[in-house]
Structure 1
Amino acid sequence: MTRIPRVPLALGLAGLVPFVWGAVTVLNDGLAAWGSQALGPRFVGPYVQLFYGSVILSFMSGVLWGFATKANGAQAATGYVLSVIPALWAFFMTGGGPTSAGLNLIFGFAGLLMLDFAFFRWGLTPRWWMRLRLLLTAIVVACLAITVI
């Protein structure tokens, strides 16, 4: 693996803010109250994590679709099929209460990491891809775990 370029790293880390903010507001009632009043109740605790997590899984489906365009034949077809799984997972599995939806997001991000690895092994991603995805996924899963425990 090679070093992660600055821009993708900075954007990836910035994309963690809603997950970290949600976890912090779960742990701190005062900050949750402030955030709810200042930003609205949908932007604190599990609510911001669940909505944003669904958006990110859908976004990552698009990223994987883009990687699939680099493949040919059966590998391309497999890549396209696999690329839609995160978005479908988010759509079907994040309803219900915050605990079950949060757990399903954890499973979704773990599954996404496996898909990332498959596309990486097929040589369709940048060489630094898994280093970035491991870092981001670990933080996302940790933040979601704080919320569902």
Structure 2
Amino acid sequence: MTSPQNIPRSALLLGLAGLVPFVWGALTTLVPTLGLQASGVIGSRFVGPYVQLYYGAVILSFMSGVLWGFATKADGAKATGGYILSVLPALWAFFMTGGGAVAASMNLIAGFVGLLLLDWQFWRQGLAPAWWMKLRVLLTAIVVLCLLTGVL
């Protein structure tokens, strides 16, 4: 049984596992020799900011689906508003991840911060679980820190 303040163990573990590509991208950016070695083995798309950018767009799109699911708990205008808001992260990822690694990383950071605001809106309306914001703040903070390695 989970109290409203406790994140269910499976949700926490899966959320943390979902950070692996972001952390790996940051690590291979901060340790260039690791990035070069890994690039030779698994390809340059799977190291540095490139893995973060690709995966970040995937996760923003995934989170659109999560928000859509929350919107199904509402009725009428509240549901319509939820459906409209839920597509924004996927559209943001689609339109804002071009223009080079630095610009795309900055846009993904903005996208994840914006997603956190949407998470809060759905949570405030009682459409997300009570523990949702505790999980989302933790995951978003780590994602943003990792994406910053491609900007700085």
Q: Counterparts of 1:29 and 1:117 in 2: how far apart (Å)?
A: 37
Among residues 3, 6, 9, which one is paired with 1:6 in the alignment? 9
> Alignment RMSD, CA only?
0.6
Q: Counterparts of 2:10 and 2:42 in 1: how far apart (Å)?
A: 28
Are residue 100 (structure 1) and residue 103 (structure 2) matched? yes
Deviation string 1:93-117 (CA, Å, 9 cap, x unpaired) is 0011000000000000000000000
Q: Counterparts of 1:51 and 1:73 in 2: how far apart (Å)?
A: 35
Q: Counterparts of 2:36 and 2:103 in 1: how far apart (Å)?
A: 24
Under a length normalisation based on structure 1, what TM-score does the superposition of the two structures give?
0.99
Q: Counterparts of 1:7 and 1:50 in 2: how far apart (Å)?
A: 26
What corresponds to 1:69 in structure 2?
72
Deviation string 1:21-68 (CA, Å, 9 cap, x unpaired) is 001111101110111011111000010000000000000000000000
Give the C-alpha shift of residue 78 in structure 1.
Answer: 0.2
Q: Per the alignment, in what secondary structure is the counterpart of residue 150 of structure 2?
A: helix
Q: Counterparts of 1:136 and 1:37 in 2: how far apart (Å)?
A: 30
Q: Counterparts of 2:21 and 2:129 in 1: how far apart (Å)?
A: 26
Aligned length: 149
Q: Counterparts of 1:126 and 1:91 in 2: how far apart (Å)?
A: 28
Q: Per the alignment, in what secondary structure is the counterpart of residue 147 of structure 1?
A: coil
Among residues 89, 94, 97, which one is paired with 1:91 in the alignment? 94
Under a length normalisation based on structure 2, what TM-score does the superposition of the two structures give?
0.97
What corresponds to 2:63 in structure 1?
60
Where structure 1 has 5 or more consecutive residues not aligned to the other structure, the ranges are: none
Q: Counterparts of 2:145 and 2:50 in 1: how far apart (Å)?
A: 16
